[in-house]
Amino acid sequence: MYKCSQERMTDMIKTFSQYGDAGHGGITRYSMSPAAIQARKEYEKRMKAIGATIEVDDVGDMYATIPGSDPDAKRIVMASHVDSVRNGGNYDGILGVMSAMEVLTTIVKENIPHKHPLTAMIWTNEEGSLYPPAMMCSGIVCYDYLPEEIRSGFRYDDMMASKSILDHTSTFGEALAKSGYQGDKKYRLSPDRYKCYFETHIEQGPILEDNGNDIGVVDCVLGMFNYKLKFYGQTTHAGTFPMPKRKDAFLAAAEALAYLHDEIDKLGYPELVYTTGEVECHPNVHTCVPDYFDFSLDVRHEDPKVLDKVMDIVKSCEKQTWAGCTCKIEKQWNRDTVYWNKPLVGYVKEACEELGVSHQYIHSGAGHDAQFAAYVLPATMIFVQSKNGLSHCEDEYSTPEHCTEGASVMLNAVLKADKED
Amino acid sequence: MYKCSQERMTDMIKTFSQYGDAGHGGITRYSMSPAAIQARKEYEKRMKAIGATIEVDDVGDMYATIPGSDPDAKRIVMASHVDSVRNGGNYDGILGVMSAMEVLTTIVKENIPHKHPLTAMIWTNEEGSLYPPAMMCSGIVCYDYLPEEIRSGFRYDDMMASKSILDHTSTFGEALAKSGYQGDKKYRLSPDRYKCYFETHIEQGPILEDNGNDIGVVDCVLGMFNYKLKFYGQTTHAGTFPMPKRKDAFLAAAEALAYLHDEIDKLGYPELVYTTGEVECHPNVHTCVPDYFDFSLDVRHEDPKVLDKVMDIVKSCEKQTWAGCTCKIEKQWNRDTVYWNKPLVGYVKEACEELGVSHQYIHSGAGHDAQFAAYVLPATMIFVQSKNGLSHCEDEYSTPEHCTEGASVMLNAVLKADKED
């Protein structure tokens, strides 16, 4: 068994945390921002130092590759992203890139024999925080392989025209062109040149920590659906309109939210998660009864039959009157559960066992570039324990020990995959 | 008894509805906008045509005055505003200005004897829709007379610096200077030159219509308080964080809203109104559990003891945990009930009786410039029936018959006040 270097991992965490440092423990590192470009330059510097060859595809995805003993063998790729959400932490995304770099560095420094070329890859704009959508560039690159219901959301021209959420004018295409990281389409991840795909990521949840396990052997990305629930009432004046005649859309939404929690919780599936994170209120004036309120509903579970049961509850909202208001539901998107490649999952589990690292099977509730890569190549993921389950916030944390363990597990799993033809 | 002209009233409603016409039945006529200036020019034209003298004070308030038989008598003023909310209707504010003009016009045309000079007045920026706050210029003008807890909100320099809610840069002071309607401070409404104050307004609620009455004899503006209720949770990822460990600030707010409705309704005061019209959700992203949610609470009732009981319920929210979240409450402002001058209220009621107009006593739930004027002069208001109680929206409507009745009631009430010394 080989082990990665905690010293190098600690140094990388410290170094990359500077790029986009927001001043209170976390980072804001939008894709193609100066901070993201600093992170790319650091990756280039480190990868060139171990003799890796760097390729950049037409959407800025970067591939640092060291050769294997078989010049005809396809590459094994380890990927993640360097961009973050606004006021995010120092681990989401970047840990997977650092882990991939650390695997290559260990292999080069310790001269570990391997047959296939090995690639440490950066996906561009995974978060989609400045230029939506999330997983933009894995979507573009894997486009032809994606299922029909997802594909149309990632058309190249549409993605290049994606507007900044800050100035509503500048586009992702402009930022990409200006970045100097617009390379050649021929370098895109493809089954012709690549054999299989690994991605290491923080768990972003509390399950590993609660169970006392360092590493998650990820078996799938949960299926999900996303709806908008819209409530229509009547605006009236706060001071002049008697209570019994009001049609308050905010009150309607609050009642429906309580109903959803009651009914969904009654189903009794402990692994089911659902989130109502985004709201809109109109006219949103303190002296007016709201005539419109909507909220998003994001529901995730492995089993499509469970998702169907929740969907029935959501649909029943439309048939009811809420505080005198009507309700309309609107589907935003859905995705089926994506299962990782069984042999690769097995290699990750074996690597944990052989390294003596505490581990468990776990589902990924979050979406990752890996789920799009999985339509193109055999793919899997490795999760590293998150402190308190926090992510997408500055308190996001994983210990250097756990981060290094994650890289060591990936190293040994990659070497197992390397032994295949 | 004298009566106003429905023909002239109908013509005025039609004419003023053009200034700021939003194209689907209503208007957007922000104070000092080109549309508001058109309305001011129309008022000037019509008032000059009946021989009125026009004065403009330093904040753009306009005073069109016809002389009375006693050159030393103080003026009786009838006032309202020409500005509207965004996508407002054709009656809120402007009806009071049209009624005041119609009273003067009837008196001049029919040569009705009267002792006191009579003034039809426009208050600048009552809505505060573009440049907050509402009732800005009555606040500035009545400043020295306002109660301590209200006064500081209307300092002249602060008001001139009030920024546009659209561009966040241009100020009310700049718009006023550019409008050409910045006159002389010496013309401000004051007890030295004015005797008493009338304001006609649409009801903005359904009470008159429900009771089959055309006119409301207003006795007071309801006391109120305004709070913000803030809920603090923890942002976590929509896909990765188990339900029982979440601290969802939106769910917390929804639970507290249900609690407020239950507890306040249990008090059993049918005239009590409370509104939660404005919300904020953070980070307001569909894949994040909200870590912060707040909503406004506006509560109105004549009796301060009733308001105190509601306040106790609001305060009890802070002592509870809502969906794992904490709650903080923050007072925004309050005002005591403002009672209209009893003799003036009596004149309005007598005028209704003598004209044979169906009427009732009614409270004003909404705030009006009249409530600030009431600290300076004896003041009262007249309400005109609103269709379906709708206001601050394009469906706002009052019939020409009811509008004309309102003006006739004001005309006769003013003539009764005119008989005083």
CB-based contact, A287 to chain B, within 8 Å? yes
Chains A and B: how many Cβ contacts under 8 Å? 205
Q: Which of A258, A281, A298 sits opposite B238 (nearest CB)?
A: A298
CB-based contact, A237 to chain B, within 8 Å? yes
CA-based diameter of chain A, in Å?
82
- Chain A residues with CB under 8 Å of B205 CB are 236-237, 239-242
H or E, element range at B313:
helix B304-317
Nearest chain B CA: its distance from A364 CA (Å): 7
- Chain A residues with CB under 8 Å of B92 CB are none
Alpha-carbon gap, residue B6 to A323, rounded angstroms: 40
pLDDT for position A392: 87
CB-based contact, B223 to chain A, within 8 Å? no
pLDDT for position A400: 98
Task: With CA atoms as reference, report the closest residue to A92 among A103, A101, A105, A81.
Answer: A81
CB-based contact, B94 to chain A, within 8 Å? no
ipTM of predicted assembly, 2 dp: 0.86
- Chain A residues with CB under 8 Å of B276 CB are 248, 250-251
Alpha-carbon gap, residue B394 to B26, rounded angstroms: 4
Rounded percentage of chain B residues whose pLDDT exceeds 90: 93
User: For all residues of chain B together, what is the average pLDDT?
Assistant: 96
pLDDT for position A287: 87
Judged by CB atoms closer than 8 Å, whether chains meet at A366 and B295 is answered as no
Q: For chain A, give the number of residues.
A: 421
Encode pLDDT of A361-384 as tens digits.
Answer: 999 999 999 999 999 999 999 999
pLDDT bracket for residue B393 (50, 70, 90): confident
Q: What are the CA-CA distances from residue A369 to residues A31, A78, A136, A139 (Å)?
A: 14, 11, 9, 8
Judged against a pLDDT cut of 90, whether residue A149 lies above it is answered with no
Encode pLDDT of A58-103 as tens digits.
Answer: 999 999 999 999 999 999 999 999 999 989 999 999 999 999 999 9
Beta bridge partners of B361: B217
Cis peptide upstream of residue A147 (ω within 30 degrees of 0): no
Judged against a pLDDT cut of 90, whether residue B240 lies above it is answered with no
pLDDT for position A142: 98
Residue in B with minimal Cα distance to A278 = B284
Judged against a pLDDT cut of 90, whether residue B287 lies above it is answered with no
Judged by CB atoms closer than 8 Å, whether chains meet at B286 and A270 is answered as no
CB-based contact, B218 to chain A, within 8 Å? no
DSSP string, B350-397: HHHHHHT--EEEEEE-S--HHHHHTTTS-EEEEEEPPGGG--SSTT--
CA-based diameter of chain B, in Å?
82
Alpha-carbon gap, residue A160 to A182, rounded angstroms: 12
CB-based contact, A212 to chain B, within 8 Å? no
Judged against a pLDDT cut of 90, whether residue A154 lies above it is answered with yes
Stronger pLDDT, B59 or A237, i.e. the higher one: B59
Encode pLDDT of A298-312 as tens digits.
Answer: 999 999 999 999 999
Task: With CA atoms as reference, report the closest residue to B224 among B277, B275, B300, B149.
Answer: B300
CB A37 within 8 A of CB A179: yes
Domain borders along chain A are 6-221+337-418, 223-335
CB-based contact, A254 to chain B, within 8 Å? yes
Judged by CB atoms closer than 8 Å, whether chains meet at A240 and B364 is answered as yes
CB-based contact, A356 to chain B, within 8 Å? no
**Residues sharing a CB contact under 8 Å with residue B128, sequence separation 6 or more, in sequence order:** B31, B134, B135, B136
CB-based contact, A277 to chain B, within 8 Å? yes
Alpha-carbon gap, residue A197 to A195, rounded angstroms: 7
- Chain B residues with CB under 8 Å of A288 CB are 275, 277, 392
User: β-pairing, A75-81 with B62-66?
Assistant: unpaired
Nearest chain A CA: its distance from B406 CA (Å): 18
pLDDT for position B90: 97
Average pLDDT, stretch B23-32? 95
DSSP string, B108-162: HHTT---SS-EEEEEES-SS-SSSSSTTHHHHHHHGGGS-HHHHGGG-HHHHHTP
User: β-pairing, A379-384 with A194-202?
Assistant: parallel
Instruction: Please work out, in degrees rounded to the nearest 5, the angle formed at the alpha carbon of residue B374 by the alpha carbons of B369 and B379.
Output: 95
pLDDT for position B303: 96
Q: For chain B, give the number of residues.
A: 421
Q: Which of A242, A273, A290 sits opposite B277 (nearest CB)?
A: A290
Task: With CA atoms as reference, report the closest residue to B3 among B370, B380, B356.
Answer: B356
Q: Worst-scoring range by mean pLDDT, A333-337, B275-279, B354-358? A: A333-337
Judged against a pLDDT cut of 90, whether residue A386 lies above it is answered with yes
pLDDT for position B149: 82
Judged against a pLDDT cut of 90, whether residue B93 lies above it is answered with yes
Encode pLDDT of A272-331 as tens digits.
Answer: 999 999 999 998 988 899 999 999 999 999 999 999 999 999 999 999 999 999 999 999
Q: Which of B286, B298, B325, B384 to mutate to probe the A interface, most A CBs <10 Å?
A: B286
Alpha-carbon gap, residue A225 to A332, rounded angstroms: 8
Alpha-carbon gap, residue B183 to A373, rounded angstroms: 70
- Chain B residues with CB under 8 Å of A243 CB are 265, 272-274
Nearest chain B CA: its distance from A296 CA (Å): 6
User: β-pairing, B326-335 with B273-275?
Assistant: unpaired
Judged by CB atoms closer than 8 Å, whether chains meet at B251 and A261 is answered as yes
Average pLDDT, stretch A231-259? 95
| DSSP type of residue A184 | -
Task: With CA atoms as reference, report the closest residue to B202 among B69, B383, B22.
Answer: B383
CB-based contact, A235 to chain B, within 8 Å? yes
Helices assigned H by DSSP within A19-168 = 34-49, 94-109, 136-142, 148-151, 156-160
Judged against a pLDDT cut of 90, whether residue B396 lies above it is answered with yes
Judged against a pLDDT cut of 90, whether residue A421 lies above it is answered with no
Q: Can you tell me whether residue B214 is helix, strand or coil?
A: coil
Judged against a pLDDT cut of 90, whether residue A353 lies above it is answered with yes
CB-based contact, B286 to chain A, within 8 Å? yes
Superfamily of domain covering B6-221+337-418: Zn peptidases (3.40.630.10)
Only one residue has tokens 């094994």, namely: A76
Alpha-carbon gap, residue A419 to A1, rounded angstroms: 14
CB A410 within 8 A of CB A99: yes
Encode pLDDT of B107-128 as tens digits.
Answer: 999 999 999 999 999 999 999 9
Average pLDDT, stretch B368-389? 97
Chain centroid to CA B23: 24
pLDDT for position B364: 95
CB-based contact, B163 to chain A, within 8 Å? no
Encode pLDDT of B291-313 as tens digits.
Answer: 999 999 999 999 999 999 999 99
H or E, element range at B197:
strand B194-202
Alpha-carbon gap, residue A279 to A250, rounded angstroms: 10
Phi, psi of B212, deg, nearest 5: 70, 30
Region for B58 from its dihedrals, namely left if φ exceeds 0, alpha if ψ lies in -120 to 50, beta otherwise: alpha
Tokens for A380, please give them.
């899997």
The residue type found at B421 is D
Q: Which of residues 306-335 of B touch A (CB under 8 A)?
A: 332
CB-based contact, A106 to chain B, within 8 Å? no
Judged by CB atoms closer than 8 Å, whether chains meet at A238 and B207 is answered as no
CB-based contact, B341 to chain A, within 8 Å? no
| DSSP type of residue A385 | P
pLDDT for position B421: 78
Encode pLDDT of A164-180 as tens digits.
Answer: 999 989 999 999 999 99
pLDDT bracket for residue A105 (50, 70, 90): very high
Phi, psi of A326, deg, nearest 5: -90, 160
Residue in A with minimal Cα distance to B242 = A273
Tokens for A229, please give them.
């629930």
Task: Assign domain A223-335 to a CATH class.
Answer: alpha beta
Q: Which of B235, B277, B290 sits opposite A392 (nearest CB)?
A: B235
- Chain A residues with CB under 8 Å of B274 CB are 243
pLDDT bracket for residue B359 (50, 70, 90): very high
Task: With CA atoms as reference, report the closest residue to B122 among B179, B171, B76, B55.
Answer: B55
pLDDT for position B73: 97
Only one residue has tokens 């009914």, namely: A263
3-state helix, strand, coil in chain A (%, to 5): 40, 25, 40
Q: What are the CA-CA distances from residue A93 to residues A16, A29, A98, A182, A295 (Å)?
A: 11, 11, 9, 21, 28
